[in-house]
Amino acid sequence: MANTTQATKRARQSEKHRVHNNDLRAAMRTRVKKVKLAIEAGDKDAANSAFRVAQASLDGMARKGMIEKNKAARTKSRLNTKIKAL
């Protein structure tokens, strides 16, 4: 347990940030999953619209440093390739 007021505050902030980051990460994964579901259903229009949302989410996460920029680029590239194959 934290011994100083500063350490107590940092522990509070760390927990708050951890929960917030998990929510953002889960939202990003959900958006990517929606694109994959649209691709599996064969709906190119839905896949394109879901891809735009997922793309913005991935770019934002990479900008904040929550995921590597190469991971964002790789994920976008793979999704886009699958959409074009429809």
Rounded CA separation 29/22 (Å): 11
Q: Tell me 42's DSSP state.
A: T
pLDDT of residue 54: 97
The whole-model pTM stands at 0.84
> Which of the four CATH numbers 1.25.40.10, 3.90.380.10, 1.20.58.110, 3.40.50.1980 does domain 5-85 have?
1.20.58.110
Kind plus residue range of the DSSP H or E element containing 52 = helix 44-64
pLDDT tens profile 37-58: 999 999 999 999 999 999 999 9
pLDDT of residue 7: 94
